[in-house]
Amino acid sequence: MSRRPLILLVAVGIGLICALGAVAVATRGPERSSPDSASALPPDMPVITPVAAPSPGDVAPPVTEADGAGTRWRNRAAVVRFAAVDDASGVAATVWRVDSGQWRIGDKVVVKAPKDHSNDGEHVVEFYSVDNALNAEAPRSVTVRIDTRPPRFTWKSVSPAVVRGVEPVQCRFTIGEPTGFVKLSYTITDQYGHVAARKHGLKRHAGPCSVKAPSRYKSGKGLTPGVYRIEFTLRDEAGNVTVSVPRSFRDQRVVKGAVWRRVDGVGRLVALTFDDGGSAPWRSILNTFRSYRMHGTFFPLGSYVAADPVSYTHLTLPTIYPV
């Protein structure tokens, strides 16, 4: 046999071996990173198909950032969006899961906040991206905090129940709030519903609490004698609001009165008005009016008239206007 056919036969054999090797590589597909490497794929990852040809020799995984989680508690759904970058081979897919659930492919996840409070609590969102060379970054995570329950408020006491001086009223209560602290304010109204004082910007942690409310108007003057109600409004970090049931206290401090026996320049024209009510005290006033043939205007509270309509019917002098 001549040397030329022998050389030709060897060349054909080498070509056949190379072709078989190429077929084997194509059948096996791209190599995945070793489980011991930083870019190892999680064992339960979904099937990812490259969307473009990988860059030769690319072993660097993508880098993914998550936006929308935040650190504060919220009472609305949270949308966490993922942005992945891979300069060499390009990103094939981003994978995520919530609370160790099933891995899914997508560029965002919605953590719901239903009004039945069924999804309240902290939710861990894990994510990673895979490039077209099938390099995967190590999974990372962010936490989404959902709270749709309003704070709980339980009264303990208001003391003193009867204020006899310009002294603060001590309000004791318990706050139930799983997220920690709440912002609160209070409003003091008089027996007619008019606002006597307000206070904002208070903060309290969950558990037993107390607030000292001065028995003064916002001008600084002490409250006039009467019945007052104090009501608290609570707002937690997520924005849930609770308004407490009002509690009453009575101001019976001694105040200085004044008696005018003479008003110059008006002659006999003086208008006398009487507020509040109480048929027994008014009978004495009316008797005095009759003795001096005087008239006055009376403004009784409607609650007094409703409680004792017969007595007020007999109070025919002078003019009575229920309010």
Q: Point out the residues of the chain with pLDDT beneath 70.
A: 1-43, 268, 277-280, 303, 310-323
Please check whether the domain covering 152-251 is classified as CATH 1.20.1560.10: no
- For residue 87, the 8-state DSSP code is T
> What's the rounded Cα separation, in Å, for the pair 169 and 249?
8
> What's the rounded Cα separation, in Å, for the pair 99 and 15?
54
Q: What whole-number percentage of the chain has pLDDT above 90?
A: 58
Domains 63-146 and 152-251 equal at CATH topology level:
yes
> What's the rounded Cα separation, in Å, for the pair 103 and 110?
14
DSSP SS3 for 182: strand
Q: 133 near 141, Cβ under 8 Å?
A: no
Predicted confidence (pLDDT) per residue in 120-159, tens digit:
999 999 999 999 999 999 999 999 999 999 999 999 999 9
Q: Environment class of residue 246 by beta-carbon count within 10 Å: exposed (0-12), middle (13-18) or buried (19+)? A: middle
Predicted confidence (pLDDT) per residue in 33-50, tens digit:
333 334 455 567 788 999
Give the helix ranges, DSSP H, for 183-314.
Answer: 279-292, 302-307, 309-314
Q: Which CATH class is domain 63-146?
A: mainly beta
Give the helix ranges, DSSP H, for the chain.
Answer: 3-28, 279-292, 302-307, 309-314
| Confidence (pLDDT) at 35 | 35
This prediction has a pTM of: 0.67
In the chain, domain spans: 63-146, 152-251, 273-320
Q: Quick one: CA torsion of 55, 61, 65, 71, rounded to 10 degrees? A: 180
| Confidence (pLDDT) at 272 | 79
